[in-house]
Amino acid sequence: MSVVRISDDSLAKACGADALAAAFEKAGATVERVSSWGMHWLEPLVEIGGRGFGPATPGDVDAILDGSSALDIGTIAEHPFIAGQQRLTFARAGLTRPLSLEDYAATGGWAGFERAKGLGSEKILEEVTQSGLRGRGGAGFPAGIKWQTVARAAGEEKYIVCNADEGDSGTFADRMLMEGDPFALVEGMAIAGLAVGAGHGFIYLRSEYPDAIAKMEGAIALSAEIVAPFKLEVRVGAGAYVCGEETSLLNSLEGKRGEVRAKPPLPALEGAFGKPTVVNNVLTLAAVPHILAEGGASLYESLGIDRSKGTMPVQLAGNIRHGGLYETAFGISLGTLVNDIGGGTESGRPVKAVQVGGPLGAYMHPDRFDLPFDYEAFTAAESLIGHGGITVFDETADMGAMARFAFEFCAAESCGKCTPCRIGAVRGAELIDRIRDGGRVRDRIELAPQMHNTKTAARSQEDEVQLVEDLCEVMRDGSLCALGGFTPFPVMSAMRHWPEDFGLERKV
């Protein structure tokens, strides 16, 4: 009987993959647990001899095995969702057993690391810089420049820290990579260690990712002799959103309160335990093995547009028909990703908005679907790519409520260190309520005879709109980190594109 391959990715397991695997084994099949292809709407996806069947349940086992199943999607590698991708970081997705060193080596694993050992620090730095790789965590800072800064920093002891605290809504690429191809992250971190002279690395993971924690700890143990003397360990955080910010992460990693540090000094000069530290996210480090393979830097540099080089694993989520992971070169339009690849909304209703870059990303109106997926283009449109997550909303979404949620989210997740974020987010939620209520009358304190310097007239809706605009400007310019600084993006974009959801008149 053919081997039946089913993902052990946590999303597939949440959809019933474990019960499905048990049903195939009960039917006498040999089951192999592999990584996920990233076609999440088809999970649990069954693969037999390259053909896919999904989403499958234990009740479908007999029909799949006797060839009569209506769930047959044909050859998986030729499915339009897969065939249209340019997979570099996720080249092994769906193809290998996550903790199999044999599978990893057979698919090009360790080639970049072995070559890097022969190149030496300066040449590694040169190739990473040449590739144009930018941090995939959101800031988009050139990885090669950051690595050069750490390499040239004074000090015998340096660290590599992987930011695996993936907390943005609608994002899952880090989790998929760690659960499906954990050796790629180990290899990327070991190469970074060679480049900057670091002998120790930390992977900072949130406790909400138990499967990823187990896979990374397993991969570190299995590959310890291969990457020696470079050492790796997993540090688990409690899941605070602000610990995705690099200085909060470093505080938490050191056992301190997850609170933002003022910069300077930059972590590249004074990072973990006061030592020069590379802090990159999972996708950045996992892209490195490919770049360091023979010809990898040139290929990476040739993909993408302008200063956005290489590929981006885009995560399609929310109210979308074909949710999943789609890795492609930068430059593809937002509309192509949402409508052509994602298939529009799952509800069948028209798309009202998409939020790119997690809960702090701007809401994009469909009239901006021509926008290319490119760091600079999104910045010019007062938006951000962030971690590459796209969350889709249909016409029933209340954008006024979503703007309020942005302030609520910021208030709940603020570390409390800076006033614009800590206080501004609370006041912002109140202002959204007042705008939607049409303004407000003065309260009894403002009208007290002792308050000689306050106005007595009611505050109009326009007054509250001006106040929220001023507040957003203060939060953007005065917050210590992106949590407070980016919260204005979803708020102002929602007010600009859907004023009627706030009870405001649309300006012609």
Task: Please state the rounded mean pLDDT for residues 475-480.
Answer: 96
pLDDT for 325: 98
pTM for the structure as a whole:
0.95
CATH 1.20.1440.230 fits domain 399-502: yes
Band of the pLDDT at 2, cuts 50, 70, 90? Answer: confident
Residue 376 in this model has a pLDDT that exceeds 70: yes
Instruction: Name the DSSP letter for residue 350.
Output: P
Band of the pLDDT at 506, cuts 50, 70, 90? Answer: confident
Task: Please state the rounded mean pLDDT for residues 435-452.
Answer: 89
Question: Closest Cα to residue 336, out of 127, 80, 145?
Answer: 80
Task: Please state the rounded mean pLDDT for residues 425-430.
Answer: 97
pLDDT for 1: 63
Band of the pLDDT at 452, cuts 50, 70, 90? Answer: confident
Q: In angstroms, rounded to a whole number, what is the distance separating the alpha carbons of residues 406 and 398?
A: 13
242-288 pLDDT per residue, tens: 999 999 999 999 999 999 999 999 999 999 999 999 999 999 999 99
Question: Closest Cα to residue 399, out of 295, 301, 497?
Answer: 497
103-130 pLDDT per residue, tens: 999 999 999 999 999 999 999 999 999 9
Task: Please state the rounded mean pLDDT for residues 402-422.
Answer: 96
Instruction: Name the DSSP letter for residue 502.
Output: G
Question: Closest Cα to residue 351, out of 329, 321, 379, 327?
Answer: 321
Q: Which CATH superfamily is domain 101-302 in?
A: NADH-ubiquinone oxidoreductase 51kDa subunit (3.40.50.11540)
Band of the pLDDT at 227, cuts 50, 70, 90? Answer: very high
Lowest pLDDT segment from 26-35, 123-132, 325-334, 499-508: 499-508
Structure tokens at 264: 């300077």
- What number does CATH give the domain 3-84? 3.40.30.10
Domain segments of the chain: what residues?
3-84, 101-302, 304-394, 399-502
Pick the CATH number of 304-394 from 3.10.20.600, 3.40.50.1980, 3.10.180.10, 3.40.50.150: 3.10.20.600
pLDDT for 455: 83
